[in-house]
Amino acid sequence: MSLKPANMTARQLLHRSVGNPPSTLPDSAISNCFPGLEFDFRNVWRRIFVGLIMHEADNYVLKAEISDYKHLEGCRLLRIDGHDATTIVIGPRQSGGPNVELATPANPDAAWFMEWSNSLTRVLHKAGQDVECVFTASPSEVQRRPNYAETQTAMLKIRRFFEPGTPVIARELVEPGDLTQSLCSPWQNDYRECACYYWASSRPDYVNVAPDGDGLSAGQNWMQRDRKPDTPVEERKYLPDDRTSDVFLSYDDLFREWQRVLRFIVAGYDRE
Amino acid sequence: MKRTLREIRLLPPLAISRLGDSPEPVNNYNVEVDPKDPLGFRKITSATAILVNQQTGEVSDICEGLEITFKDPQGRVRPVAPFIELWGRFGDDDEWIHLTRDDIDVDNLHWRVRLGNVKAFRRTGDVKDRIIADSGWFTDHDYRAMDGKCENFLAGKVLPFGHVQFIKPTEQFPHIRFRFTPAEGKVYGSNWFVKKADGTYQSANSADQPVDGANYIQHDLNIDDVVYNSGDGGGKWAGYTESTGAALTIPGAIYAGQSGPNGWVSSGYLDDECDGVIEVELRAKEKLSAFSRIGAGPPAYAPDSFPIRTVYDELEQALLGWEIAPNDYTDQELQKESEEIIRRAFETIRLMSTTTMNGNQVGPAPDIASTMVRQDRADAERAFEPIMAETIVDNLAVRALHQNIFASLSSGAPPWFLSVIRRFDEIGDLSTEGRRKMPAMMRNADGRYLTLTRRQREKIRHAANRLTSTTETKEKKR
């Protein structure tokens, strides 16, 4: 098998310099960013269309950088090169009920935006070319379904994602500070505020876990202040997070001494 | 005579540093999967480490077998301080090599680092809130402070983003390296005293801080320094207020603050996270240049576990596309890649309270955590009910499920397997069956149910097809 140049370049993405731990590599950083830990990687898409600044997490035009696109500010991007950017939400209103479109006062079209990364992968190979983009005809605070009736069309040029021939994110796509700009300020606040357990391999949730006498798991909450890994299994209890309870680390604890109070977890257990 | 360099490159192209207040960075380590226990905890073992003398800028030793600890004896977090290597290609040769001082005239290497923290700017829109550190071009080997400057800072104040150093190649250690050491993870502020949402000062709490009058106000003990000017001629980050709006961050109001009559009021806090670029120019007869990117984030608190969907997966898909070409992988590579995705899913749920995330009722209250169940109700007014049957989601049971999946993938995936992995365009399916697809119970970058990248899903599809007759037609792939 012979590797194509692009495949060889891709391997450089995981180049591990001598002396660098695995946690320096991009495969140690989450990308289900809402907003993220190391980066809010969604920011890489803000400048993907030449002349526009898109919302990092939505199909909303934040700003037109050239006057020709001024009329698109505040509009929503509904289709990109023939592909839908939004989808319809369905499900039951009542438990056991039929699946229906889930329109709400805040979302009258029952429409949700589909993430940039998986949507735009279909057009990134057209960097430098114009693609047809369909927007709402006027600014829209609410989300719209892909077949929304009142639209306007613009031909937009796709920026290149990487510097030519390299695995480096293109200079014009991301400026210093962009990749972290929509993270929490300060990040310590998010460790308390968000209670985001969706990143458990980086920000653990359920630790010191072992089978109890009934064959179920018994463990502790990572944010629990006074836990001990050698607590007898029958006494280990996962306590649901409560920002107001002294049982858990507080905002002030994290602002002042996160280094001391947050513990590393190795093999599922408190390391120190 | 030195060979002619055709191209130079800084590797890795995107490096992640991790904040910490210890003067000693984490020693290098490996994480190893035990082939006899492929879903066991990865073993952390010592790896080749580089020790640098910050004063001289020289490597003092490259050694093996150092102890791996993530905090120092004083309880301080050891930062992760990555090395960036200069690689090159000569003449018509396609081979990249790590350059040494024997390959080029090191004195002709010029470096520049620019780092930014523009979190306040993203909210306020005031360009004077951008915090930028710019080293300017340099050739020396000093341990150089990267001080973030901002037009809305108080006179003489900076926000330290860490240090950079061009490691001096020596006869003993001739390779060309650069190092970024991130900041300590401090919180900076706009006022030494605590303000309430209405702008008045918080009285000192007499219970905690006995005082003899009511005129004392609370010191803000959360901040290391006041750097931001929130007074006359300054900025509006302290007191900035968010309510709702399409232009706000998603999620919104994610900054330290308190509730006010018009929304969430910022306390004016700043941190020392950042991201930016390291540039190098070889200013010889022909100028060659390259740059790489760097970021500084919190520690990886479970260093033997990895996320399901990562920044690498996004970059790989952007570079190679979502479809897998015939020569992209050998069968063995495809199998390994697919198993790694399942392993990472396993590592994530292993540290997750799956009963809570499933929306099970724990205690008297039915809605006890920030779960997809809560979000489905809040965003779409869907019926509030657990995702899976409540009796099958204990952490050990979910682990067993993943162990079965892993075993299936190793020996030939069953026909139903691919159909239970959520496609990216199925995020609107909140039916009972739709919510149970994998990855389950987790949130994605769009705030909806987590999906793999399309390329990750394709890896699994190809690996399964290699072993079974399972197919998903081109027409069904959108």
Query: Would you state the pLDDT for residue B465?
Result: 79
- The pLDDT confidence band at residue B473, using thresholds 50, 70 and 90, is very low
Average pLDDT over residues B165-174: 98
Q: Residues B111, B139: one domain? A: yes
Q: Residues B174, B288: one domain? A: yes
Residues B114, B137: contact at Cβ < 8 Å? no
Residue A21 has pLDDT above 70, yes or no: yes
Reported as half-sphere exposure (CB side, CA atoms, 13 A), residue B22 has a value of: 21
CB B332: neighbour CB atoms within 10 A? Answer: 8
| Domain presence at residue B472 | no
Chain A nearest CA to B180, separation (Å): 11
Query: Would you state the pLDDT for residue A52?
Result: 98
| Beta-carbon separation of A176 and B277 below 8 A | yes
pTM of the model: 0.96
- pLDDT, mean over chain A: 95
Reported as half-sphere exposure (CB side, CA atoms, 13 A), residue B326 has a value of: 1
| Domain presence at residue B73 | yes
Nearest CA in chain A to B447: A34
B276: which 2 tokens?
A: 């930016």
Average pLDDT over residues B352-365: 90
pLDDT digits over A168-225, tens only? 999 999 999 999 999 999 999 999 887 668 899 889 999 999 999 999 999 999 999 9
Which of B117, B305, B317 is the closest to A117 by Cβ? Answer: B317
| Domain presence at residue B205 | yes
Residue B1 has pLDDT above 70, yes or no: no
In whole angstroms, what is the distance from residue B200 CA to residue B99 CA? 59
Residue B87 has pLDDT above 90, yes or no: yes
Residues A209, A219: contact at Cβ < 8 Å? yes
Residues B422, B309: contact at Cβ < 8 Å? no
| Domain presence at residue B474 | no
Which of B245, B380, B446 is the closest to A57 by Cβ? Answer: B446
CB B300: neighbour CB atoms within 10 A? Answer: 28
Reported as half-sphere exposure (CB side, CA atoms, 13 A), residue B206 has a value of: 5
Total structural domains within chain B? 3
Max Cα separation, chain A?
A: 69
Nearest CA in chain A to B444: A32
Residue B252 has pLDDT above 70, yes or no: yes
Nearest CA in chain A to B363: A240
Enclosing domain of residue B221: 187-271
Residue whose tokens read 């952007």: B318
Average pLDDT over residues A79-96: 98
In whole angstroms, what is the distance from residue A60 CA to residue A51 CA? 14
Residue whose tokens read 């080293």: B135
Q: Residues B180, B192: one domain? A: no
Average pLDDT over residues A109-137: 97
Q: Residues B328, B260: one domain? A: no
- The pLDDT confidence band at residue B213, using thresholds 50, 70 and 90, is low
CB A138: neighbour CB atoms within 10 A? Answer: 12
Residue B207 has pLDDT above 60, yes or no: no
Q: Residues B135, B53: one domain? A: yes
Q: Residues B34, B89: one domain? A: yes
Chain A nearest CA to B167, separation (Å): 13
Chain A residues closer than 8 Å to B75 by CB: 259-260, 272
Residue B178 has pLDDT above 80, yes or no: yes
Of B250, B289, B219, B260, residue with least CA distance to B6 = B289
| Beta-carbon separation of A125 and B321 below 8 A | yes
**Element counts in chain A: helices (H) and strands (E):** 4, 14
Average pLDDT over residues B341-353: 96
For a pLDDT cut of 70, what percent of chain B falls above it?
94
